[in-house]
């Protein structure tokens, strides 16, 4: 690994590292915030998954999360949103290819060679963090939009791996909304039944672990009606008896202004589970 950024922040250190990912077959970057408590003890980790077009930079520079991580003694890890590089498949537009990995394991050419973001986020990255930083194996996961989808997937597909999960404006039913339909057709092929394994509103029905879900959704979000559709997850959770706290926030849109407004509450929510 190579450290490429380091900044003092709320008594701790905001860093950015690059490393070669065997899972993705390319160089990857992640941001990590080490709060001041990390100087003397191992701490739990909250993983943050960002949305379409983002890199590791968006969350660490816009969310204002470090203040709350320092307060609660939680390490923050924010990976990039896709594999990157000249030899990594890409596409025109913002919603497919580099910057739009959708946190699935692609099965279709040319994507399958590199696009295995689910395995990277769930397995390879935590193993690296827990080996090379003062991090315990107490993990929470959160994210925004496409990253909220990825966070819900990680928790629902890997029972026992996380102690807490939350999301901001997640894509909860990608197999039934335009962003997901485009990405899934490319990454996973035309078999819509295969898509269900990567759709939170489908996975929650048969989930073997009833890990509570905390979701904040802005009522003024321009993508709410046709691309996010939280009511589909709400209905699935009601059918399955899965605990869901869906908080509709009047006046808030899809931006990082929305995330910054509620990230403190989310980190407190995770910290309670992670330190418990």
Among 21, 55, 82, 145, which one carries the catalytic annotation? 145
Question: What is the distance between the alpha carbons of residues 174 and 176, in angstroms, rounded to a whole number?
Answer: 5
In the numeric block, which tokens belong to residue 6?
């380091």
Annotated active-site residue 242? The verdict is: no
Among 114, 242, 254, 270, which one carries the catalytic annotation? 254
Annotated active-site residue 254? The verdict is: yes
Return all residues near 86 (Cβ < 8 A) that are at least 6 apart: none
Among 221, 242, 261, 270, which one carries the catalytic annotation? 221
Question: What is the distance between the alpha carbons of residues 62 and 71, in angstroms, rounded to a whole number?
Answer: 18
Show the CA angle centred on residue 217, arms to residues 59 and 32, nearest 5°: 20
What are the strands of the beta sheet with 43-49, ordered from one edge? 2-9, 12-21, 26-34, 75-79, 43-49, 135-143, 164-168, 213-218, 244-249
State the distance between the two ends of the chain, measured CA to CA, in whole angstroms: 32
146 closest CA partner among 228, 33, 37, 57: 228
Annotated active-site residue 191? The verdict is: no
Question: What is the distance between the alpha carbons of residues 102 and 26, in angstroms, rounded to a whole number?
Answer: 17
Active centre residues (catalytic): 145, 221, 254
């Amino acid at each position: 690994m190579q450290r490429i950024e380091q900044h003092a922040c709320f008594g701790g250190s905001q860093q950015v590292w690059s490393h070669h990912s065997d899972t993705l077959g390319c160089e990857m970057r992640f941001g990590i915030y080490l709060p001041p408590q990390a100087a003397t003890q191992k701490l739990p980790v909250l993983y943050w998954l960002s949305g379409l077009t983002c890199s590791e930079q968006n969350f660490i520079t816009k969310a204002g999360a470090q203040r709350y991580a320092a307060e609660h003694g939680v390490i923050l890890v924010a990976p990039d949103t896709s594999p990157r590089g000249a030899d990594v498949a890409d596409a025109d537009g913002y919603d497919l290819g580099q910057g739009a990995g959708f946190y699935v394991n692609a099965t279709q050419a040319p994507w399958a060679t590199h696009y295995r973001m689910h395995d990277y986020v769930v397995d390879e990255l935590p193993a690296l963090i827990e080996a090379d930083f003062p991090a315990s194996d107490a993990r929470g996961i959160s994210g925004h939009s496409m990253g909220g989808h990825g966070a819900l997937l990680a928790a629902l597909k890997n029972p026992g791996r996380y102690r807490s999960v939350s999301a901001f404006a997640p894509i909860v039913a990608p197999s039934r909304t335009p962003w997901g339909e485009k990405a899934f057709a490319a990454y996973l092929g035309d078999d819509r039944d295969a898509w269900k394994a990567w759709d939170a509103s489908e996975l929650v029905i048969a989930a073997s672990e009833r890990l509570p879900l905390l979701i904040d959704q802005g009522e003024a979000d321009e993508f709410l009606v046709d691309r996010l559709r939280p009511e589909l997850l709400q209905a699935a959770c009601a059918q399955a008896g899965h605990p869901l706290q869906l908080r509709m926030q009047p006046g808030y849109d899809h931006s990082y202004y929305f995330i910054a407004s509620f990230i403190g509450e989310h980190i407190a929510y995770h910290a309670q589970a992670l330190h418990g």
